[in-house]
Copies of this chain bind each other. A is one copy, B any other.
Amino acid sequence: MRTYLECIPCFVRQALDAARLATSDLAVHERVLRETLRWASEMSFDQSPPSMGQRIHRLLREVSENPDPYRDAKRQANEVAMGWLPNLRERIGAAPDPLAAAMRVAIAGNIIDLGCRTEVSEEEIRAAITRAFADPLAPEAVADFREALRSASRILYLADNAGEIVLDRLLVEQLPLERVTLAVRGGPVINDATRADADLVGLTSLVKVVDNGSDAPGTILEDCSPAFRELFERADLLIAKGQGNYETLSEAGRNIYFLLQAKCPVIARDIGCTVGKAVLRHARGAVG
């Protein structure tokens, strides 16, 4: 997805919010804001939004001398969601279609995105999970996904955020584990999940886990490691969580199921849904 003009005011706001979260040093706030403005004034709008996010958050980590400003937020989100895991696993197991329920819960988890907003409360996450059970996905869409799972040999699951990755685990548990590889970001950026989060929530002992070698809040293939790119090319089914992965891969021309909450008007318009909607979208493409 390209960068739309409406993304620009949002980048600027995000840069300021993130700088304030990373440090109380006002000079850092101003510097990150001014650089973001300058970059945005010159950027190509053909890039996807996470390219700018990557640049802003790299600068922020550098000038704030804080290599992982969202560390506490990530730990807290993981801990809260881990507390819910046994109960959610039981409810998913008791659901008429556990795969469908797990997909919907994993989508709900995508509201834990600190790029779109600086804070997401525990109540909001709980409410999203409640809606997940009350408002299931369309049965045809789930049937299509089930069939894709059945026929795929190499499934690559692209995780998105910390906290959310706990709910991803519930979906991974419904997948053919031996055929699944889960990918996380190559380094800290916003509250995106890295290998440490996959470890913490027990995914590493369940499936193969790789990092993509990139610190972009999405999957910018040119920026990923050769090893990840090879996995990506060879996968015949991709499951991509969240807005950042949608923004960077919506035109990848691959067989990808995007699972996300549409959290901003730009994404909602691009997808053709309303803001707040739980989205399961299948992009067809060449099999690798």
Contact = CB atoms under 8 A, between A and B. Distances in A.
Interface residues of A, number: 19
A205 to B, nearest CB: 43
Task: Classify the interface of chain A: helix, strand, loop or mixed.
Answer: helix
Contacts of A40: 37
Interface in A246-265: none
Contact of A38 (B5, B10, B13, B37): B37
A45 B37 CA distance: 14
Contact of A29 (B5, B35, B41): B5
Nearest to A16: B5
Interface string A8-44: 1110110010000000000001100111011011100
Contacts of A9: 9-10, 12-13, 16
Contacts of A13: 9
B12 A16 contact: no
A46 interface: no
A72 interface: no
A4 to B, nearest CB: 10
A222 interface: no
A6 interface: yes
Contact of A41 (B8, B16, B37): B37
12 contacts: A5-B16, A5-B29, A5-B30, A8-B33, A9-B10, A9-B12, A12-B12, A12-B37, A30-B45, A37-B38, A37-B41, A38-B41
Given A5-B16, A6-B16, A35-B41, 18 more contacts: A5-B30, A5-B33, A8-B33, A8-B37, A9-B9, A9-B10, A9-B12, A9-B13, A9-B16, A12-B12, A12-B37, A30-B45, A34-B41, A37-B38, A37-B41, A38-B38, A38-B41, A41-B41
